[in-house]
Amino acid sequence: MSHLQKILFGILLTFGLALGAQAQGVQADYRLGAGDGIKISVFQNPDLTVETRVAESGAVTYPLIGAVQLGGLTIAEAEREIASKLREGGFVQKPQINILLVQVKGNQVSVLGLVNRPGRFPIETGNTRVTDMLANAGGAVSIGADVAIISGIRQGKPFRKEIDIPAMFITGNTELDIPVAGGDVIYVHRAPVYYIYGEVQRAGSYRLEREMTVLQGLAQGGGLTPRGTERGLRLHRRGTDGSIQAISPEKSDALQANDVLYVQESFF
């Protein structure tokens, strides 16, 4: 082997070891859940090699020791649990257990609503967060909201939280990007809109951007027609009691979700 070949072999070996370590790290962090397919083997005991699936109860049935609760355990913890059962039962004196995650079914998160690829996605590491799942789903579509709603179960109780994604990155407060758990649902609702009609170039509904003013809202609609007048501008807004209020707004006033701007025709 030439000197150059030795260098190339060393690079490939190092790269392969790094990839292997990364894959082992991902598997080590993963917690087994219902539906996961695993392969359990015991060193120098090929008759104890079993490929099975974690039941809804979190248990698997294993030769000699029967049902073993593995749901919620990491791979390393599950290996120690089976080794302990085999040793305590006197079946294998010094068991060396290896568990291979064959198929991921449990610990999935549903990402629904206005995202590019809605569906269920597995939690691949123990530190998977909301933004990771949104990235798996391709992010929000153009009419999707900036806020993601996550719901699930935490400590046996219903859990719900709204996460303002842009604000989290703008302020640098990454604590809002909470870890997800199996069974969580992330939902992206439609972005808030406002409406324009009357003497404007392009009447219709438009996405309400952050801190958008009345003037900016009119600009989205292409501005006024030659017959329109700003003096005849009216804003219709639903109050807390459900009634519709007619307001004569200033151009610097902030728009709210579902506001309706009406531009009247000039009579002069």
Total domains, the chain: 3
Determine, yes or no, domain membership for 25.
no
**Spatial distance between the Cα atoms of 226 and 229, rounded to a whole number of angstroms:** 8
Tell me the per-residue pLDDT of 197-249, one tens digit each, with 9 for 90 and over.
999 999 999 999 999 999 999 999 998 898 888 887 999 999 888 899 998 99
Tell me the per-residue pLDDT of 136-169, one tens digit each, with 9 for 90 and over.
999 999 999 999 999 998 877 899 999 999 988 8
Report, in angstroms and rounded to the nearest whole number, the Rg of the chain calculated over CA atoms: 29
Is it the case that residue 68 has pLDDT exceeding 70?
yes
Tell me the per-residue pLDDT of 173-182, one tens digit each, with 9 for 90 and over.
888 899 998 8
How sure is the predictor about 268, in pLDDT bands with cuts at 50, 70 and 90? low
Is it the case that residue 27 has pLDDT exceeding 60?
no
Determine, yes or no, domain membership for 162.
yes
pTM: 0.63
Mean pLDDT of the chain: 85
Instruction: Among 68, 103, 138, identify where a domain stops.
Output: 103
Q: Average pLDDT in the 180-191 region?
A: 92
Q: Specify whether 116 is located in the same domain as 183.
A: yes
Q: Specify whether 112 is located in the same domain as 93.
A: no
What is the span of the domain harbouring residue 197? Answer: 193-265
Is it the case that residue 9 has pLDDT exceeding 50?
no
How sure is the predictor about 1, in pLDDT bands with cuts at 50, 70 and 90? low
Instruction: Determine the pLDDT at residue 101.
Output: 87
Enumerate the H helices of 210-266 as residue ranges. 214-220
Instruction: Determine the pLDDT at residue 131.
Output: 94
CATH number at residue 255: 3.10.560.10
Q: Specify whether 166 is located in the same domain as 113.
A: yes
How sure is the predictor about 31, in pLDDT bands with cuts at 50, 70 and 90? confident
Instruction: Among 190, 215, 237, identify where a domain stops.
Output: 190
Terminal Cα distance for the chain, rounded: 93
Instruction: Determine the pLDDT at residue 263.
Output: 92
Strands 260-265 and 228-238: antiparallel
Is it the case that residue 29 has pLDDT exceeding 80?
no
Determine, yes or no, domain membership for 173.
yes
Determine, yes or no, domain membership for 14.
no
**Spatial distance between the Cα atoms of 30 and 101, rounded to a whole number of angstroms:** 9
Handedness of CA 30, 34, 38, 40 (dihedral sign): positive
Q: Give the amino acid at 128.
A: T
Instruction: Among 149, 168, 190, identify where a domain stops.
Output: 190
Q: Specify whether 54 is located in the same domain as 95.
A: yes
**Spatial distance between the Cα atoms of 246 and 37, rounded to a whole number of angstroms:** 61
Determine, yes or no, domain membership for 11.
no
Q: Specify whether 211 is located in the same domain as 227.
A: yes
